[in-house]
A = this chain, B = another copy of it.
Amino acid sequence: MNRKELFGIIKKKKSFLCIGLDTDIDKIPQHLLDFDDPIFEFNKQIIDSTHDLAVAYKPNIAFYESLGSKGWESLEKTVEHIRKTTNEVLIIADAKRGDIGNTSAMYAKTFFETYNFDAVTLAPYMGLDTVSPFLKYKDKWSVVLALTSNKSANDFQYLTDKDNNEALYETVLKTGQTWGTTDQIMFVVGATKAESLTAVRNAAPDSFLLVPGVGAQGGSLKEVAKYGMNDHCGLLVNSSRGIIYTSNNEDFAVSARKNAEELQMEMSVYLKDADLINL
């Protein structure tokens, strides 16, 4: 899926919602434990109930990995179920992989061949060599970690280069854009404050941004839309816990839909305000 197609789906669904599938065996409703594969059953019901509202799903790989080989089976079935259900969502592996050479090629193979993801989150520290094996795949996205909102983001991301007076995260944004087209490279931008978002948009005006910090992590959707939206939306805003864990009962998927719908409705207003859709 390229940038134009993604924007088309955003306009059609009046949504830039990404639903994070951080599926935790200790947090899903108890009655699901009777199923052969509780993790997949949970994801399936969430997907069936929300796929018209979401433009992306983002399985958080750590949660599957922690279950061993069984977790990877649940992941595989989840991706297959999304593919069977709709071709109008982007499926993002939140894996934050970062290596080089044949190791990085193996990671690309994992997520784009072994599993049929559209996009993978990647760590920038080793530079282009991490990303280049992923760029060889047509219509796939590398989502490069740029700015995060955790406390220790300050450890390194704001260090200022003495030559160009840029913070490291700005250099990552600028350098990252030279690695591929805006149909190939997206950035993870966890910050939800006006000031940071403005700096990010200055550094990467045309790129799609994956914003993980709305909902349980406390970011404001309004601020993100105001300071982050560009002429093709350019935003995928993720919510995980704020959608998928809002009920512990058999109605969990209905409850998830309700919460997803609230976000989608709010998003539709911001898309309308930016003259990107009619309501």
Asked if A106 is at the interface (CB within 8 A of a chain B CB), the reply is yes
- A95-107 CB mask vs B (1 if < 8 Å, else 0) is 0111111111011
Evaluate whether A154 and B127 lie within 8 angstroms (CB atoms) in the complex, with A72-B68, A110-B62 already known: yes
CB distance from A37 to the nearest CB of B (A): 12
A103: B residues at CB distance < 8 A: 22, 60, 62-63, 94
A48: B residues at CB distance < 8 A: none
Contact A171 B148 (CB under 8 A): no
Count residues on chain A whose CB falls below 8 Å from chain B CBs. Answer: 59
CA distance A150 to B165 in the complex (A): 25
Asked if A128 is at the interface (CB within 8 A of a chain B CB), the reply is yes
CB distance from A106 to the nearest CB of B (A): 4
Contact B114 A67 (CB under 8 A): yes
CA distance A124 to B94 in the complex (A): 17
Contact B66 A69 (CB under 8 A): no
User: Which residue on B lies nearest to A123, using beta carbons?
Assistant: B123
Listed from nearest, the 8 A-B pairs whose CB atoms lie closest are A127-B152, A127-B155, A162-B162, A62-B106, A69-B69, A69-B72, A128-B152, A129-B152
Given contacts A62-B104, A129-B153, 9 further A-B contacts (CB under 8 A): A66-B106, A69-B73, A96-B123, A123-B123, A124-B155, A125-B156, A125-B157, A126-B150, A161-B161
Binding site for B on A (CB under 8 A): 22, 24, 60, 62-63, 65-70, 72-73, 76, 94, 96-104, 106-107, 109-110, 113-115, 123-130, 145, 148, 150-157, 159-163, 165, 168, 171-172, 175
Can you offer 15 A-B residue contacts whose CB atoms are under 8 A? A62-B110, A66-B114, A68-B72, A69-B72, A101-B150, A124-B125, A125-B157, A126-B145, A126-B148, A126-B155, A127-B150, A127-B157, A128-B152, A156-B175, A162-B162
